[in-house]
Structure 1
Amino acid sequence: MNREVTEKAPAKINLTLDVLHKREDGYHELEMIMTSVDLADHVTLRTINEDTIIIQSNNGFLPLDHRNHAYKAAKLIKETFNIQLGVEMMINKNIPIAAGLGGGSSDAAATLRGLNHLWDLGLSLDELALLGAEVGSDVPYCIYGGTAFASGRGEKIEQLVAVPQCWVVLVKPKKGISTGTVFNALAYDTLEHPDTHSMLTAIKEQNYLDMTKLVGNSLEETSINRQPSIETIKQKMVSFGADAALMSGSGPTIFALCRKYSRAQRVYNGLKGFCNEVYLVRTLK
């Protein structure tokens, strides 16, 4: 009998993203504080007897081969544990693609968690996160989800208490940005560095007001130079009453934090006419 499991794959936002320096291995040394929001993909996995990986999706822009993070995750787990069975997966996409929201990484994490269960591998989350680091830098964080401090190239994870719950408006401009081009264009001596330590304290103390003042992203200025609409959207968010506005990851998605639902609704309505992809969600507990 073919077994089946569905895993939820939530999006993430970066409350802080700091680039410390470029490492000898070509990666960048990062410090990030991330939190999950309730915009999520759903990954349904079904075991099949043929030794193959088949991916389907409701989104026509998603690659369904070795370029897909979920495919890489399934291939890695099959090879690592010498599994002769195959898997058929359906990725139901709700998270925008190439948006700085970790959608592909979250799908990969969901695949690792799901196959661990389907194939009775008995791996802990820590073991799954180690595997995930081989697929992509954000995958270990996505294995755990919630609120976390990530360092190294993003693979060292320290789980934190959940942020004070608030509303989040996500806006994805039409034009995407390549993460590689953003990192390649960084001018290290002029980078702005967020105060990660103070943000950790604000989250620990559940101080929402301090948290909104401390959001920051070292990549934002470089991405804005490539796509000025990011700055325009940020300004609109603040003018509509957002408590804070920041670009997530390497962009181009911008998020607004709002304590009050009425404010979030105003930001959402104000930007809906300006961009197609606008979402009103909450932080996850």
Structure 2
Amino acid sequence: MKLLVKAPAKINLSLDVLYKREDGFHELEMVMTTVDLADRVELELIKDDRIIIQSQTRFVPDDERNLAYKAAKILKDKFNINTGVSISIEKHIPVAAGLAGGSSDAAAVLRGMNKLWDLGLSIDELAKIGAEIGSDVSFCVYGGTALAKGRGEVITPLPPPPNCWVVLSKPSIGVSTGEVYEHLDVNTVNHPSTQSMVRAIHNGDYESMCNNLGNVLESVTLTRYPEVKNLKEDMKRFGADAVLMSGSGPTVFGLVQHDSRMQRLYNGLRGYCNQVYAVRILGKKNELL
């Protein structure tokens, strides 16, 4: 039996780090939403008691380092499943880009294997298991738009944001998330107003949403990786209404409402950047498969 599950990327409309917790993690406050750029995860039940990961992308690990593998393994262990699964991941989301591609793949596996193994778990139960795998997995299980707190696992659903284009661009560099958090000084950065972003979304106020984009991690990434800073400046110059780095980077996104401006922004970036995508915000939550 086979099942195909879409695994959409996420962007952070707002990302704040409040403090470092005693457990070593950071206390976060984020507004996230899914966009129409997705990996395709195909799941196939196999008789052998093992987990097989297949991907054409060389940067995607095919063993227990892969979050999709971890998702299948945790379900197998929790529910004493003695059959296996072959997981084929067709990557469209850039790897290590601040777009939660790996987390979304893991969430897709949780949702898909819940159906294939007939586990009968609710979406809330799947999200709770997702929190054991990685910080963004719980949100990716739900999808849509949400306020996320804690390590990212405390989720409050929000309505879809105002409709607009999202133009994503990833420079050809890698950014270490651990390094970014290590160099972040929460006492000196300008913290975004999470509640203002939440209010803008509730009110369907596009201008206010643009005005309240914010990401404290930019204070580190833009300083240490000038390519990201330059990309932000280029996006503004090409006509984006608002520009922000997603996650710890290096992907930057620009918001625009009009097709003509989206095309200008997309074409301008494609002139020198290979990974550019013009997508829509998805907005709506996932349902059980």
* TM-score normalised per structure 2: 0.97
The Cα offsets for residues 170-210 of structure 1, whole Å up to 9 and x where unpaired, read as 01010110100000111222112101011111100000010
Residue 58 of structure 1 aligns with an amino acid whose one-letter code is Q
Matches within 5 A, 1:114-125: 114-125=112-123
Show the counterpart of 1:156. 154
TM-superposed deviation, 1:282? 0.8
Residue number among 163, 166, 190 corresponding to 1:165 in the alignment = 163
Residue 94 of structure 2 aligns with an amino acid whose one-letter code is P
Corresponding position: 1:60 with 2:58: yes
The Cα offsets for residues 32-84 of structure 1, whole Å up to 9 and x where unpaired, read as 00011000001000000100000101212211111100001010000010100
Residue 76 of structure 2 aligns with an amino acid whose one-letter code is K
Query: Partners of 1:273 and 1:239 in 2: how far apart?
Result: 14
- Does the 8 Å CA contact 2:184/2:219 hold for their aligned counterparts? no
How many residue pairs are counted as aligned between the two chains?
Answer: 283
% identical equivalent positions: 60
Report the aligned-residue RMSD.
0.7
Show the counterpart of 1:7. 5
Show the counterpart of 2:141. 143
Residue number among 80, 88, 91 corresponding to 1:90 in the alignment = 88
> SS where residue 266 of structure 1 aligns?
helix
The Cα offsets for residues 134-155 of structure 1, whole Å up to 9 and x where unpaired, read as 0000000000101100000100
Structure 1 segments of 4 or more deviating over 3 A? none
Query: Partners of 2:165 and 2:249 in 1: how far apart?
Result: 20
Show the counterpart of 2:105. 107
> SS where residue 242 of structure 1 aligns?
coil
Corresponding position: 1:48 with 2:46: yes
TM-superposed deviation, 1:229? 1.1
Corresponding position: 1:28 with 2:26: yes
Show the counterpart of 2:179. 181
Query: Partners of 2:140 and 2:90 in 1: how far apart?
Result: 17
TM-superposed deviation, 1:165? 1.2
TM-superposed deviation, 1:215? 0.1
Residue 176 of structure 1 aligns with an amino acid whose one-letter code is G
Residue number among 257, 262, 272 corresponding to 2:260 in the alignment = 262
Residue 184 of structure 2 aligns with an amino acid whose one-letter code is L
Query: Partners of 2:109 and 2:135 in 1: how far apart?
Result: 16
Structure 2 gaps of 5+ residues are 284-289
Query: Partners of 2:257 and 2:217 in 1: how far apart?
Result: 26
> SS where residue 211 of structure 2 aligns?
helix
The Cα offsets for residues 77-112 of structure 1, whole Å up to 9 and x where unpaired, read as 000101001000100100000000000000000000
Residue number among 190, 196, 207 corresponding to 2:194 in the alignment = 196
Residue 157 of structure 1 aligns with an amino acid whose one-letter code is I
Query: Partners of 1:192 and 1:85 in 2: how far apart?
Result: 51
Show the counterpart of 1:17. 15
Show the counterpart of 1:246. 244
Query: Partners of 1:117 and 1:165 in 2: how far apart?
Result: 32
Query: Partners of 1:48 and 1:92 in 2: how far apart?
Result: 19
